């Protein structure tokens, strides 16, 4: 903690996690006091922001008391006593897990998902379950059965999605860290629209055990934070092989904060021309171009002669594979085993039909129908199988580009945060919000969104894409960029104004 800094809980709420941790270890503040201050701020923001489906104050204070005991014993981990929000797609045995759907209203899992268990073991303090698009299917957090989350920079705009609640509460200063999931951009896109950092790890770096499934071959759990060091701390706490998830890689987890200060002199950064072309809002293009110039000034070698010829097919590939997997994963919601169950039909099959009709929202139904059609007899080869073949081409093109470059750089989103309701009647326009992010999920690579400017008074993010399991390079570049810019330090005022007593 900096000399002369105010160690009171209220003052610490806006400090980076590593400073909060120093204050906790020094005994300048208790974990309980920090949790109480965090809960007070979150409650003040919630009427305007609606970032949470469920707040868990009793659980938070109990976890904070346990963290204080660990701190007194001197066996604290880096996140001991640190408040955190968890996307309500992650199973928690002591709190409702809804996936943003009426189908799971009141559902209480019997176990924690692995990432939540690891956070509890690290001594982190969960303050609540963050809002999301239903079953993580959306790009605006407007498809939640529990109401829309709002962007803290402009309460009439979306925060992005599907992890919009997680991004919004971090951006508003409610909590310093949050977990989301990313299937086609659901961490990076809301991070960009809310002006914070968000990272999708390599597929297989973080366990998916206990995560409510959407598209199993695409999704990963990942962190939100306000700077690269905090992002690395949270990633380090949740990453690693899990015997309960066969897709996790049996690789050691590095210290993601160890090389942050190395700088980026000589780092090779490629700019795929297909992902810096048509469809970009002028303000976004200007901010990304300025970021490229700043990275070059820091010593990075920028190469604009990079091509990913098949990346233009990413949108149709994604919207065949993801809905197909969703149709299989969501078949389990039949009203028999758990979740909502209708019982007013003349027979079992009628009850099942009514369960799904009432329990699922329109966007979820749309994707189930697309996926079921793509997997049906006579269409499997023409659609799903062909999409998987193109997926292989896209992955190989990324691997070839990254064989000669350390990172690839693109905009995170085509535009800034759009207005609430603006795209609800146009699913294709909504899907295009993830145009630059979903190719990375198809390739299974790590990527992060980093704040790089403003357009129309709203945040803009740039996307850094790395080689498989080289998240450290992304974080090092993000940290270097942050040392000469202050975009990540900007804070929204809309929520603070709305929370003020009249």
Kindly name the residue from 148, 162, 207, 472 that is annotated as catalytic: 162
pLDDT at 491 over 50: yes
* 404 part of a folded domain: yes
Quick check: is 320 in a domain? no
Is-cis flag, bond preceding 162, omega within 30?
Answer: yes
Res 502: pLDDT:
38
Q: Is 87 a catalytic residue?
A: yes
At 377, the pLDDT band (50, 70, 90 cuts) reads confident
pLDDT for residue 241 is more than 90 = yes
Q: Is the pLDDT at 45 greater than 80, yes or no?
A: yes
Domain assignment of residue 198, given as a range: 12-309+396-499
Residue 186 known to be catalytic = yes
Catalytic choice (87, 129, 200, 423): 87
Average pLDDT rounded to a whole number, residues 22-26: 96
Tell me: pLDDT of 1 over 60. no
Residue 472 designated active-site: no
Buried b (16+ CB within 10 A) or exposed e, 29-68: bbbbbbbbbbbebbebbbebbbbbbbbbbebbbebbebbb
CB 142, CB 150: distance < 8 Å? no
In a domain, 331, yes or no: no
pLDDT in tens, 435-470: 999 999 999 999 999 999 999 999 999 999 999 999
In sequence order, the 6+-apart residues with CB closer than 8 A to the CB of 420 are 140, 142, 148, 150, 156, 157, 158
In whole angstroms, give the CA distance from residue 200 to residue 189: 11
Query: Is residue 309 over pLDDT 70?
Result: yes
Residue 327 belongs to a domain: no
Out of 38-47, 220-229, 368-377, least confident range: 368-377
Q: What CATH number corresponds to the domain at position 54?
A: 3.90.1300.10
Q: Which of 91, 148, 166, 186 is catalytic?
A: 186
pLDDT above 80 (res 4): no
Whether pTM exceeds 0.75 = yes
Residue 362 lies in a domain: no
pLDDT above 60: residue 32: yes
Answer whether residue 345 is part of any domain: no
User: Considering the domain boundaries, does residue 316 fall inside one?
Assistant: no
How many distinct structural domains can be found in the chain?
Answer: 1
Task: Give the pLDDT score at 278.
Answer: 78
Q: What was the pLDDT predicted at 497? A: 58
């Amino acid at each position: 903690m900096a000399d002369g800094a105010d160690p009171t809980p209220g003052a610490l709420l806006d400090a980076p996690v590593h400073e909060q941790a120093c204050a906790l270890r020094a005994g300048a503040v208790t974990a309980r006091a920090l949790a109480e201050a965090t809960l007070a701020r979150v409650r003040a923001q919630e009427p305007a922001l609606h970032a949470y489906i469920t707040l868990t104050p009793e659980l938070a204070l109990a976890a904070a008391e346990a963290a204080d005991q660990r701190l007194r014993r001197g066996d604290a981990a880096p996140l001991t006593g640190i408040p955190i929000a968890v996307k309500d797609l992650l199973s928690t045995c002591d709190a409702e897990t809804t996936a943003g759907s009426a189908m799971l209203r009141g559902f209480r899992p019997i176990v924690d998902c692995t990432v939540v268990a690891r956070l509890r073991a690290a001594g982190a303090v969960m303050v609540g379950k963050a809002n999301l698009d239903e079953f993580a299917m959306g790009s605006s957090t407007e498809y939640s059965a529990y109401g829309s989350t709002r962007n803290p920079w402009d309460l009439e705009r979306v925060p992005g999605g599907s992890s919009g609640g997680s991004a919004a509460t971090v951006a508003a200063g409610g909590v310093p860290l949050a977990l989301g999931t990313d299937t086609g951009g659901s961490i990076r896109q809301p991070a960009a629209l809310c002006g914070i950092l968000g990272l999708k790890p390599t597929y297989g770096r973080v366990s998916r055990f206990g995560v409510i499934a959407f598209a199993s071959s695409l999704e990963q759990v990942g962190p939100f934070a306000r700077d690269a060091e905090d992002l690395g701390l949270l990633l380090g706490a949740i990453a690693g092989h899990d015997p309960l998830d066969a897709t996790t890689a049996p690789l050691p987890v590095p210290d993601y904060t160890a090389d942050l200060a190395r700088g980026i002199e000589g780092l090779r950064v490629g700019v795929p021309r297909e992902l810096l072309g048509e469809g970009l809002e002028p303000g976004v293009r200007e901010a990304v171009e300025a970021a490229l110039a700043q990275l070059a000034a820091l010593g990075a070698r920028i190469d604009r002669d990079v091509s990913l010829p098949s990346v233009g097919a990413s949108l149709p590939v994604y919207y065949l594979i993801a809905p197909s997997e969703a149709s299989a994963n969501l078949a389990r919601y039949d009203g028999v085993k758990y979740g909502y169950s209708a019982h007013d039909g003349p027979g079992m099959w009628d009850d099942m039909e009514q369960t799904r009709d009432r329990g699922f929202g329109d966007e979820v139904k749309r994707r189930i129908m697309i996926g079921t059609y793509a997997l049906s007899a006579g269409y499997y080869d023409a659609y799903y199988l062909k999409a998987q073949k193109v997926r292989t081409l896209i992955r190989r093109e990324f691997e070839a580009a990254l064989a000669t470059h350390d990172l690839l750089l693109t905009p995170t989103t085509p535009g800034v945060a759009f207005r609430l309701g603006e795209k609800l009647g146009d699913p294709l326009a909504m899907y295009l919000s993830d145009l630059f992010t979903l190719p990375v999920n198809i390739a299974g690579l790590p990527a992060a969104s980093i704040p790089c400017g403003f357009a129309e008074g709203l945040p803009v993010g740039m996307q850094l894409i790395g080689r498989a399991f080289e998240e450290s390079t992304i974080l090092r570049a993000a940290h270097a960029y942050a040392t000469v810019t202050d975009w990540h330090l900007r804070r929204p005022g809309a929520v603070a104004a709305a929370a003020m007593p009249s």
